[in-house]
Structure 1
């Protein structure tokens, strides 16, 4: 319940607009030293590979052939995300992180043709979890250029959720 008796006047509090706007400069070397950030970027690349394999399997599903273009757009976004994440990792660490190829990942993901709606629902939940993960990753990186890339990935993930919601309602 909303606390009606609380004082919501912000002018009585000593609140400064500039509390978040500190002039802390973070260098690439500082980011390179952050092992947790590098691990998160590696996890992000692995999750993107999982999304690639899921969208690839959905594209190959014969029951979804009339919606291949919708799925292909999401698949191509995931390819772009993988390249962007590799670029971020390289910019921070100076090393290329190698990931398993697409064909190795696809064999693990097989979609049951009879149960299309449940597979779409699984993909939807995976995309929603990844959206939350990338949002947390966005907050872990203080540098603006890298945050812009992550913001683009987050908006694409949200778009994928919308597309998958449409497909889920269509095949329900």
Structure 2
């Protein structure tokens, strides 16, 4: 037979245990030392972050110049083909073997250039990622050091804090990063080309 009184007490006891555990962990969390840091600001405002940005900008400009040198003649060829095709039907274009060959070569070269542009963009992203890894590792070690110095239990990203005023260590992290690291190797990554 179902015993409502016994089931109610068991449920109430279990709920009280869960509630007590939750309150204990909330209380422990409230007594924790919490620090916050804006790592994006640290990276962007740091000497090393600005160094990486400058190096990537130079690489992007060089790559853009190289790609433009290939794109300009291709664009001229495209205009020449447009003039040659103007006023002709599709059948007339297909019947003209030389024009058809020019169009096919132009399409192939255009696709090759688009692929080269995509590869160059991916290489720059990989280059930035590798440089950022080095900087982020240094930022993490600085944050770890500050957390130990201040006996912090938790360090959060500044953007994650919705309410409260935990100690913000962004300025301290930035100052230490600037004193410990001003440059990193920013070496152009290369993908295999087919």
Q: Which has the higher strand share?
A: 2
Q: Bigger radius of gyration, 1 or 2? A: 2
Q: Give the alignment's TM-score, normalised by structure 1.
A: 0.30
Q: Give the alignment's TM-score, normalised by structure 2.
A: 0.28
Q: Whose relative contact order is higher, 1 or 2, with alpha carbons under 8 Å and at least 6 apart?
A: 2
